[in-house]
Amino acid sequence: MNIGQVSDASGLPAKTIRYYEDIELVRPARGANGYRDFSERDVHKLAFLARARSLGFSIEECRTLLSLYEDRDRASADVKQVATEHLDRIARKIEELEAMRGSLQTLVTRCHGDDRPDCPILDDLAGEKTATA
Interface with its own copies (CB under 8 A):
44, 47-48, 51-52, 54-56, 65, 68-69, 71-77, 79-81, 83-84, 86-87, 90-91, 93-94, 97-98, 100-101, 103-105, 107-108, 111-119, 121-122, 124-127
Q: Are 33 and 62 in contact (CB under 8 A)?
A: no
User: Distance between CA 24 and CA 67 in Å, rounded?
Assistant: 12
* Nearer of residues 23 and 108 to its own copies, judged by Cβ: 108
* Nearer of residues 32 and 118 to its own copies, judged by Cβ: 118
Would you call 21 exposed, middle or buried from its count of C-beta atoms within 10 A (0-12, 13-18, 19+)? middle
Amino acid present at 73? D
15 binds, among its own copies, DNA, none (CB under 5 to 8 A by kind): DNA
Instruction: Give SS3 for 3.
Output: helix
Amino acid present at 102? G
CB of 124 to its own copies, least distance (A): 7
Residues found near DNA in the complex (CB under 7 A): 2-5, 7, 13-16, 18-19, 31-36, 53, 58-60
